[in-house]
Amino acid sequence: MRWADRWVSRFTIGIFGPVGKKVFWNQNAWGSIVSNTADAFTAKRKDIIVCQKIDLYSTGQHQMFSNFIYFIIALLIYTTYQPSAEPNLGALETLLLFISLIVLFSYFTWIQFQAIRKRISHETFSSLDHRFNVVLTRQSVLAIALFAIDVYGLSLSSFFTDITIFSIIPTFQALIFITLFVCYLSIIWICAHAPYQGLYNTDISMRSYVLSNILFSIPVLLPWLILSGISDIIFAIPFEAPKRFLSTTEGEVIYFVVFLFVIAMIGPLMIQKFWRCKPLEFGYHRNRIEKLCERAGLQYANILYWPIFGGRMITAGVMGLVKKFRYILVTDALLKLLEPVEIDAVIAHEIGHVKKKHLLFYLFFFVGYLLLSYAIFDLIIYFILYVEPVYRFLSTAGIHQTTVTSALFSLIIIFIFLIYFRYIFGYFMRNFERQADVYVYSVFDTATPLITTLGKIAATSGQPDDRPNWHHFSIRDRIDYLKKCEADRKWIKRQDQKIRKSILLYLLGILLIGGVGYHLNFGETGKKINQQFFITLIQREIEKTPDSPKLFSILGDLWYSRQNYERTIKAYKKALTLLPDSPQVLNNLAWLYATCEDERYRDPKQA
């Protein structure tokens, strides 16, 4: 595994995700709205909601966060794979199976979404929306499984090993595989487009729909691409100093941390270009947002249109840690469909993320994940070693041991990643969103406009307002908490205190994990574990080749380092039985007999 891939497998996630309130807009549907009341937002015809929108917990934002996760898992699958010496199948068999799987996947995906399309006029919006999201998620998981089959089952990367350019710049090969995964997801989005149009009553083109989903993933793919590409260039140029530096643990850590903070600073500049954002023109809306930012003391580089999903998603976002590369993002739908005071509330929410240092904390949590993965990296290796009998059994079925080992390693890494970001990172995301909600009180006397905005979203979504979500509290929870703050402002301080205590607890946990990681890698505990690791490794190699004097010699050296002199002597004698004239073993055994600190094993005559 390349060192860049190893770091990607430990830490592979972008930090530039937008934050805010999201709901899809359809102009025709909004034409039926005659007031700001919930009743006007829920006009129905034959149990089908006319004003069909998606709340911030539905397709738009859910899909955005899901796409992040899918691409990260795909990167982990690829970067943790160690190609075997030979492919599992021949070239022709691999090609036929590869094409067949794509055809089956495409057909099955098309059937699933067509079934939804046919039900649009017969079922409620809520039921169809749920079904649409379930199918979208299921097919995306199948796309990940298909990609894993390509990597581990078909060993596609083994067919690229003899191509020189891929050996020099491995990132090129990685790009091919990530593009393959993008193609799998694109098949899903292409099949989903028609029912998406009918269900959500939108005229967004297939090209815009697919491209918007792909562009969601730029914050994940761009840092990985730059990190991996730069490392390839460093190892390709004829200078030894940077190569030696990056070949050390200290060099890896320094390079990665520096890269992380640099990309965190300037990344938003590149991302807004990829997202094709354009400056918001001078006029009423820009002047109002500028005055609000000035009032809150927020500095930024620009206010941009965000053309996500054709601009039909009611959303705002902020990205960037420093003023020079900080951007406020708004969509056309946000500016057209919300009242000015509601737009102010949404922008105040985004300002709250900056003022409360949430983007910096997100970066800090990613570094925490890096520390966690670094601390347990060796433990994963040890675990894989000790379950070797399991994958040795699988190897008898014709699967290469390297493939099984890589797959097991990948599964463990993905499991840890999902647990960390689902429960730890997700916990802080939810509470940061709530803290950004109550920040509105720092700018305005009331949060009523934000409450009405959330109420509109809930009323038009066709979904329960208490629908659970891992990265945001439900709409009902958010509205209820804001109402508590309206009645008693002490709830604002309670939320701030809750976050401070949570961060303190997190810091203590990270320090504990850091200490464990240090002892595992540099302390006596780590040395003992490493010694036992190598002893187990050598013993298993001896089982495979019991006539190797070199293995018994190494085993004796390891037992000597553990001060287990009885086993040391036994291993050395076995080595001499196989190779009586070995000068190294004779010298080591003589030294033990002559100088052993345990006098029971001293034997000057034998020495």
Q: Please check whether residues 112 and 214 belong to one and the same domain.
A: yes
- Here the CATH number for the domain that contains residue 558 is 1.25.40.10
The verdict on residue 296 lying in a domain is no
Pair (427, 538) in one structural domain:
no
pLDDT top residue among 494 and 474? 494
Among 352, 348, 350, 330, which Cα is nearest to 285's?
330
> For 308-314, what is the mean pLDDT?
72
466 occurs within a structural domain: no
40, pLDDT greater than 80 = no
Q: Is the pLDDT of residue 53 over 60?
A: no
Q: How far apart are CA 605 and CA 590, in angstroms?
A: 10
Of 3, 426, 467, 538, the closest CA to residue 250 belongs to 3
Region 308-319: mean pLDDT is 78
Give the C-alpha distances (Å, rounded to integers) separating 20 from 15, 210, 290, 304, 433.
15, 22, 18, 15, 8
Q: Are residues 104 and 201 in the same domain?
A: yes
Least confident of 152-161, 379-388, 469-478: 379-388
183 lies in the same domain as 221: yes
What's the rounded Cα separation, in Å, for the pair 379 and 539? 19
Q: What is the pLDDT of residues 423-456, one digit of tens each?
A: 899 999 999 999 999 999 999 999 999 999 888 7
Q: Please state which of the ranges 60-74, 294-308, 565-579 shows the lowest mean pLDDT.
A: 60-74
Who wins on pLDDT, 441 or 201?
Answer: 441
Neighbours of 499 (CB within 10 A): 18
Tell me, yes or no, whether 413 and 534 share the same domain. no
Reported as a pLDDT band with limits 50, 70 and 90, residue 513 is: confident
Q: Are residues 78 and 173 in the same domain?
A: yes
Residue 31 has pLDDT above 70, yes or no: no
The pLDDT score that the predictor gives to residue 43 is: 34
Q: What is the pLDDT of residue 76?
A: 86
Identify the band that residue 578 occupies on the pLDDT scale cut at 50, 70 and 90: confident
CB 560 within 8 A of CB 592: yes
Residue 456 lies in a domain: no
Q: Give the mean model confidence (pLDDT) for residues 465-481.
A: 82
Q: Could you tell me if 80 and 216 lie in one domain? A: yes
**Residue 302 placed within a domain:** no
- Asked if residue 347 belongs to a domain, the reply is no
Q: Are residues 566 and 419 in the same domain?
A: no
Mean residue pLDDT of the chain comes to: 80
**CB under 8 Å to 570, separation ≥6 — which residues?**
none
3 state DSSP class of 89: coil
Residue 529's pLDDT is what? 67
pLDDT at 226: 86
Tell me: pLDDT of 373 over 90. Answer: no
Cα of first residue to Cα of last residue in the chain, in angstroms, is 45
The pLDDT tens digits of the residues spanning 226-266 come to 888 888 888 888 888 888 888 777 787 788 878 888 888 88
| Same domain for 205 and 106 | yes
Which one has a higher pLDDT value, 392 or 588? 588
Does residue 50 lie in a domain region? no
- Exposure string over 5-19, b if 16+ CB within 10 A, otherwise e: bebbbbbbbbbbbbb
Higher-confidence position of 229 and 33:
229
Domain assignment of residue 334, yes or no:
no
Residues 182-210, mean pLDDT to the nearest whole number: 90
24 phi and psi angles, rounded to 5 deg: -80, 150
pLDDT at 56: 34
Point out the domain boundary residue: 185, 206, 239: 239
pLDDT at 169: 85
Looking at the structure, do residues 557 and 408 belong to the same domain, yes or no? Answer: no
Q: Give the span between the Cα atoms of 238 and 411, in whole angstroms.
A: 37
* 423 Ramachandran zone, left/alpha/beta (phi>0; psi -120 to 50): alpha
Is 505 inside any structural domain? yes
Question: Does 70 score more than 70 pLDDT?
Answer: yes
Q: Which domain holds residue 586?
A: 524-601
- My answer on whether 432 and 534 are in the same domain is no
What pLDDT score does 38 carry? 35
The verdict on 420 and 513 lying in the same domain is yes
Above 90 in pLDDT, residue 507? Answer: yes
pLDDT at 447: 93
The pLDDT of residue 393 is 58
The residue among 186, 213, 239 that closes a domain is 239
Q: Which of 366, 377, 371, 375 is nearest to 413 (CA)?
A: 377
Query: In this predicted model, which residue has the larger pLDDT, 550 or 193?
Result: 193
Look at 127-131, 577-581, 586-590, 602-606 and tell me which has the smallest mean pLDDT.
602-606
Share of the chain above pLDDT 70, in %: 81
- Residue 345: pLDDT band (50, 70, 90) is very high
Range 378-389 average pLDDT: 68
Residue 147 is predicted with a pLDDT of 95
Answer with the residue of higher pLDDT: 33 or 568.
Answer: 568
Mean pLDDT of 263-273: 87
pLDDT digits (tens, 9 = 90+) for 109-148: 999 999 999 998 888 877 888 899 899 999 999 999 999 9
Q: What is the bridge-based pairing of β-strands 313-314 and 23-24?
A: antiparallel
What integer pLDDT is reported at residue 165 of this predicted model? 83
How many independent structural domains does the chain possess? Answer: 3
Q: Of 522, 548, 569, which residue sits at a domain end?
A: 522
